[in-house]
Amino acid sequence: NEAIARGVIEAGVGFVASYPGTPSTEIVESLANVAKEYGIKVEWSTNEIVAYESAFAACLTGVRSFFAAKHVGINVAADAVISSAYIGTNAGFVFVSADDPYAHSSQNEQDNRNYAKHFGLVLLEPSSPQEGKDFVVEGYEISEKVNLPVMVRTTTRVSHSRGIVKFGHIREPKIIGEFEKNPRRYVIVPSVARRNKLSLLKRLKEAGDLANKSKLNKVIELSGNSLGKRVGIISSGVAFLYALEEAKKISAEVKILKLGFSYPTPKKLLEEFLSDLDEVLVVEEVDPFLETEVKAVAKELDLNVKIRGKDILPRAFELTPKIVEKALKIFYGFEKGRVEESLLDPPQEVNGVHLPSRPPVLCPSCPHRASYYAVYMALKRLKVKAEKAIFPTDIGCMTLGMMPPYFMGDVLLAMGSSLGTSSGLSAVTKQPVIAFIGDSTFFHAGLPGLINAVYNKHPLILVVLDNEITAMTGFQPDPSTGLTAMGEKTRRVSIAELAKTIGVDFVAEVDPVLEWEKARDAFIEAWKVYSRGGVAVVVYKHPCALYELSLTGKTGRGGKYVIDQEKCINCGICYKYFNCPAILFDEEKKKPYIRLDICTGCGVCEQICPVKAISRLEH
């Protein structure tokens, strides 16, 4: 990701916009850190479509621009992406789609190479940090030759890889351009769209010609034992590195085509590669994107070559060297069958030692824990059975509310979906509907859903867990933070005031860490309004514990807390129901205790202890 950022700098980009999302976040984070030094403008936008629209519009003025998102973020921007291909670019425009095979930190593992074909984009696939930098620089040259957006597709393994990178010359960025009016190209009403489509097809053909000659594609010939048939491998991205490594180990004679410029399909290059081969294996993640294109070219040219791919390799999850090794042995004829999905499962033990499961937990002093506990205790006072309620949840740290002991997370589709799903659930059930969403997610995609609930009279309670930062992706600022991506002070946008403005029936904002009882009582008041058919919003607002620690050196009330073993009645509230990871249970003494090396001093445990057995250390 840092290498890609370096490529953006070397290419002389003047404007960058993005929304954070793993595995793409560090690209723009790295650029934001050095933006002032290089004189470029970098911003975190409210969501991906706003970021994409901003970056693409900048290129229309003659300023090179850049956008990055994780794979599902491209879905959010999709309307703008396809329209931008129709319009075409005036200056270089490159964007990164960081895909996530195996769904390491995502709700799916979609393969965004399909977008390139579907929308009419140039597609580049780097395999290493050096290629990440170089492909971005080359991407701007390609974009300006064919006036098309260029998508650089990485995956989690590529995004987070490390390596030695040789730097290149930094082009002076153009940061101020001029927009020349041309509505017959830029305003894609139907008549313009039809004309632009013909232009797009012409530009794609030109891009295909470039792909055939591109230095980003290369053929590698490995010598070794003859297999009795002429075989080849076609691959891209990190899968190419696995294929090359394992092919070298097996020491068989094979030709490998590495596709770095993989769409539009380099048909002439494929024809040259396939023409003298009997059998070819396509190694790729995740979908048979290249395999389908290669088969189409072989069929179109009537080439007598057998194309293999997902008949041997699995379609689920990411590839590994072990999987590719097995696939090559099958392809070469040393073994039979196909690669089973069981090879994809993580090991349960290493060297005979069982690996314990490590479920994710909210950090010590996380304000969300106090918020969830406030809701839990409020429902208990209201005598509402939590197991009967429905808790739509959302993307971010608040998703961990689904874990024990809260179990407050019942449905999740995408960013902002807690509001949309709540509307549908409240419309067709009599069960209580209590939604959770974070501040960054609310600004990203939650606001339209809340407006929808008010407009269509869908009774629900929305709990906004506002920790004033985009925490899960590494503390990027959002409209609630008061800072821009480049560290400049800006206005804070109040979620509570927004809710009031759109007509929510009840709105409360309270600090769940410093005023836990008020947080509980605020939810009880919200319930009263909800039970009368209203829409209620409770904003629990307190900085993320890790972010607060970095700014002030403390969280909440600060200090360290201890449990008086004499006063403690072992009710279990602090370690079972509040579930702070700093509070453990001593099996020998049959009492809980606080690990001072983990405690960061929020002080909520002191507020919730029924016998006042928890107190703050004074030193």
Residues 6 or more apart in contact with residue 344 via CB below 8 angstroms: 102, 314, 316, 317, 318, 320, 323
Cis-peptide into 286, omega within 30 deg: yes
Q: How far apart are CA 10 and CA 167, in angstroms?
A: 8
Helix or strand run (H / E) with residue 47: none
Q: 125-163: per-residue pLDDT in tens? A: 999 999 999 999 999 999 999 999 999 999 999 999 999
Q: What is the pLDDT of residues 41-88, one digit of tens each?
A: 999 999 999 999 999 999 999 999 999 999 999 999 999 999 999 999
Dihedrals φ, ψ of 163, to 5°? -175, 165
pLDDT tens readout for residues 77-102: 999 999 999 999 999 999 999 999 98
Q: How many helices (H) and strands (E) does the chain have?
A: 21, 22
Q: From start to end of 213-309, where are the E strands?
A: 218-222, 231-235, 254-258, 261-263, 279-283, 306-308
DSSP SS3 for 90: coil
Three-state DSSP state, 453: helix
SS3 (DSSP) at 297: helix
Cβ neighbours of residue 479 under 8 Å, at least 6 residues apart?
Answer: 46, 439, 443, 492, 493
Q: How many beta carbons lie within 10 A of that of residue 354, not counting itself? A: 8
**Among candidates 401, 326, 390, 310, which has minimal Cα distance to 362?**
401
> In the structure, what pLDDT confidence band is assigned to residue 618 with cuts at 50, 70 and 90?
confident
Only one residue has tokens 């008020």, namely: 518
Taking a C-beta distance cutoff of 8 angstroms, is the pair 15, 40 a contact?
yes
pLDDT in tens, 175-195: 999 999 999 999 999 999 999
- Residue with token string 């319009």: 87
Residue 313, Cβ neighbours under 10 Å: how many? 26
Report pLDDT digits (tens) over 436-465: 999 999 999 999 999 999 999 999 999 999
Structural tokens at position 576: 């079972």
Average predicted confidence (pLDDT) for the chain: 94
Tokens of 28: 């723009």
Q: What is the pLDDT of residue 361?
A: 85
Tens digits of residue pLDDT in 273-308:
999 999 999 999 999 999 999 999 999 999 999 999
pLDDT higher than 70, residue 354: yes
Tokens of 7: 């490529």
Written as one letter, the residue type at 592 is P
Q: Which helix (H) or strand (E) holds 369?
A: helix 367-381
Rg of the chain taking only CA atoms, in angstroms = 27
Q: CA-CA distance, 559 to 557, in Å (whole number)?
A: 7
pLDDT range class, residue 551, cuts 50, 70, 90: confident
Whether the CB-CB separation of 509 and 541 falls below 8 Å is answered with yes
Assess contact for 375 and 408: CB atoms under 8 A: yes
**What token pair was written down for 151?**
């998508």
The answer to whether the peptide bond before residue 448 is cis (omega within 30 degrees of 0) is no
Give dist(CA 79, CA 75) in Å, integer. 8
| Structure confidence at residue 537 (pLDDT) | 98
